[in-house]
Amino acid sequence: MSKERITGAEALMRSLEHQGVKTLFGYPGGSIMPTFDALYGHRDRLNHILVRHEQGAAHAAQGFARVSGEVGVCLVTSGPGATNTITGVADAMIDSTPIVVIAGQTPVSMLGTDAFQEVDLVGITQPITKWSYQIRRAEDVAWAVARAFYIAKSGRPGPVVLDFTKNAQTEMVDYEPMKLDFIRSYDPDPTIDEEKVKEAAELIDKAERPFVLVGQGVELGNAQEELRTFLEKADIPCGCTLLGLSAIPTAHPLNKGMLGMHGNLAPNVKTNECDVLIAVGMRFDDRVTGNLATYAKQAKIIHLDIDPSEFNKNVKVDIPVLGDCKKTLTKLIGYIKENKHTEWIDSFIEHVQTEYARVIEKEVYPKEGLLNMGEVVRAVSEASNNEAILVTDVGQNQMMSARYFKYSKKRSIVTSGGLGTMGFGVPAAIGATFGSPDRTVCVFMGDGGLQMNLQELGTIMEQQAPVKMILLNNNYLGNVRQWQAMFFGRRYSFTPMLNPDYMKIAEAYEIPSRRVMKREELQEAIHEMLTTDGPFLLEACVVEEGNVMPMTPPGGTVNEMLLEC
């Protein structure tokens, strides 16, 4: 069969379609213009979402990828267009999110001349990507795209950047579609060491106080059912990292809550009391471990992960089990014995009750005063039947929503974990509505984070993306203010915020909105938000100096959480 001769830009469009891409996020410009011209002829098959800033494109691609399990794609121009995506690329790298960023570049003949909008994108992004490559010839397009998608979504997922020179976009090529499932020296699906699995199973069977740490790797590996079967067969309680919260339903009796600095009291305390700690698809981040010198020193540690670089990186493990956690959990299930740990599980109750009485009841069910962040979050979650996708920005809004939202379905939390990117929420929520159009998407944000990518309200307006935005407005950069209150003598250095009228801003973007200041109005306002077709902005004016508790102070020990500020 004869090959068709087309431009490199057209080859890119066809290669994206060959990879199954249907949605991409982007912003046109000079160096990528031939590709956008080719995209014009593919509008019926490739749905391009015009964002208002390239950072928004990267975060939208992340949101799309996180809820769909597919690769998110963004298309931007060179120079500032490319560099504006870098925060999103770094965010995707640390949070293992599969995205492919395709950026225009000056022609090969002008590289190195400081041409208009030329930057060394490959050099800039190599440390924060799984792969970064410059396409210099049209004949390399199909190969580069196939390789990019394979690398982004296989093994431990992550971002890939393709730097697409202008001459490669306009040159002619004999196009042939390509798929890739092998790269020499790249092993995304390592062979599982059966002996390590057996060792782990023996240790688990002998444990009197086993505890499982559930990370995002369970979601990325689609191992939610395997995790549940494993936990139930061995009767082991678990705690979840921030990104792993929806890997097991909140209501499951073995789920003891969130780990980490602002997590639940019981799972943090019990981390330092268990005799066997089983970490599944998580990287022992410092916000989970606190002071490493005092972290789980009493326990034998089993670590299941697909990335060998995570073993012994932060915490020394006794039994590393390398492999896809869907496969390693399946093998473990076959080896472990059915067990009961009733007394150990019951020991969590005291700490659950303590946290409820001293923290949760006051935050979620206050009897007087201004609205609390936690009560707004819980009310939205319950009004959506605990089935919505939670997207968060970063700060107190993130920790409060992660703590008090409830999860009943997998892939239900989208948040910036490792990088902590303010401004993530709104564009990521846009992406989530395209990645999972049949689900309700609720994004919680603070007044600081919303203003960092406020321009993406324009994208919401144009697309009528049904993003339900809940602004927890306390007129502060709340998380920094909390630290200033606790550790810097209440010296509020540049954290108070003079805010605009968000109702007027929503009106300008033709987005329905409502402001709530009184508790009696909250339920009705949430109902209006959830029953309104399309987007909605709900501004909840919350107590200004509210704090997220419990809290493990920076460098503190996980089982010594502060319950009051």
Q: With CA atoms as reference, report the closest residue to 84 among 58, 123, 112.
A: 58
- pLDDT reported for residue 565: 82
pLDDT tens-digit series, residues 547-557? 999 999 999 99
Is residue 207 classed as helix, strand or coil in its secondary structure? Answer: coil
**Each residue of 309-359: pLDDT tens digit?**
999 999 999 999 999 999 999 999 999 999 999 999 999 999 999 999 999
* C-alpha distance from residue 264 to each of 188, 258, 419, 560 (Å): 34, 5, 22, 12
Cα–chain center distance at 300? 29
Separation between Cα atoms, residue 78 and residue 88, nearest integer Å: 16
Which residues 6+ apart lie within 8 Å of 242 measured at CB?
Answer: 258, 260, 287, 402, 413, 415, 417
Strand partners, 166: none
Rounded CA-CA distance 280/216 in Å is: 8
**What DSSP letter does each residue of 381-396 carry, written as one string?**
HHHTTT-SEEEE-SSH
b/e burial code for range 152-170 (CB count within 10 A of at least 16 → b): bbbbbbbbbbbbbbbbbbb
Cis peptide bond upstream of 550, omega within 30? yes
**CA distance readout (Å), 475 to 456, 498, 537, 542:** 21, 7, 17, 9
How far is 225 from 239, CA to CA, in rounded Å? 16
SS3 525: helix
> Which whole-number Å values give the CA distances from 37 to 49, 170, 171, 550, in the listed order?
15, 11, 14, 53
How many whole angstroms separate alpha carbon 201 and alpha carbon 211? 14
- Residue 2: per-residue pLDDT: 60
pLDDT of residue 3: 80
Which candidate, 534, 538, 501, 498, places its Cα nearest to that of 516? 538
pLDDT values of the chain reduced to their tens digit, one per residue, 565 residues: 468 899 999 999 999 999 999 999 999 999 999 999 999 999 999 999 999 999 999 999 999 999 999 999 999 999 999 999 999 999 999 999 999 999 999 999 999 999 999 999 999 999 999 999 999 999 999 999 999 999 999 999 999 999 999 999 999 999 999 999 999 999 999 999 999 999 999 999 999 999 999 999 999 999 999 999 999 999 999 999 999 999 999 999 999 999 999 999 999 999 999 999 999 999 999 999 999 999 999 999 999 999 999 999 999 999 999 999 999 999 999 999 999 999 999 999 999 999 999 999 999 999 899 999 999 999 999 999 999 999 999 999 999 999 999 999 999 999 999 999 999 999 999 999 999 999 999 999 999 999 999 999 999 999 999 999 999 999 999 999 999 999 999 999 999 999 999 999 999 999 999 999 999 999 999 999 999 999 999 999 999 999 999 999 999 999 999 999 8
Name the residue with tokens 């009228």: 501
> For residue 211, what are the β-bridge partners?
277
Q: How far apart are CA 241 and CA 243, in angstroms?
A: 6
Which residues, at least 6 apart from 132, have a Cβ–Cβ distance to it below 8 Å? 121, 122, 125, 126, 160, 161, 163
One DSSP character per residue, 119-176 reads --HHHHHGGGSSEEEEE-SGGGHHHHHHHHHHHHHSSS---EEEEEEHHHHHSEEEE-
